[in-house]
Amino acid sequence: MEVKLWNDKREREMYDNFAELYAIIKATDKLEKGYVRDVVSSSQYETECQKLIVHFKTLASTSKDTVPSIERFADTYKMDCPAAINRLVTSGVPATVEHRAAAAALSTTSAAVVAECVQNFITAMDSLKLNMVAVDQVHPLLSDLSASLNKLSILPSDFEGKTKMKEWILRFSKMGAADELTEQQARQLHFDLESSYNSFMAALPSAGT
Is the whole-model pTM more than 0.75? no
Max Cα-Cα span within the chain: 103
Gap between the Cα atoms of 4 and 204, Å rounded: 68
**Could you give the angle at the alpha carbon of 98 between the alpha carbons of 96 and 101, nearest 5°?**
110
Mean pLDDT of the chain: 88
Taking only the tens place, the pLDDT of each residue in 76-119 is 999 999 999 999 999 899 998 888 877 776 676 688 888 899 99
- Report the 10 Å Cβ neighbour count for 9: 8
81, 28 contact by CB (below 8 A): yes
Instruction: Choose the weakest-confidence range: 23-37, 74-88, 145-159, 188-202.
Output: 145-159
Q: Residue 92 in 3-state DSSP?
A: coil
Give the pLDDT mean for 159-186.
Answer: 93
User: CA angle 147-152-155, nearest 5°?
Assistant: 110
- The fraction of the chain above a pLDDT of 90, given in percent, is 63
Q: For residue range 111-140, list pLDDT tens digits in order.
A: 888 889 999 999 999 999 999 999 999 999
pLDDT bin (cut points 50, 70, 90) of residue 5 is low
58 strand-pairing partners: none
Listed range (7-11, 22-26, 160-164) with the worst mean pLDDT: 7-11
pLDDT score for 102? 72
130 φ/ψ angles, rounded to the nearest 5 degrees: -85, 10
Return the pLDDT at 206. 43
pLDDT of residue 21: 94
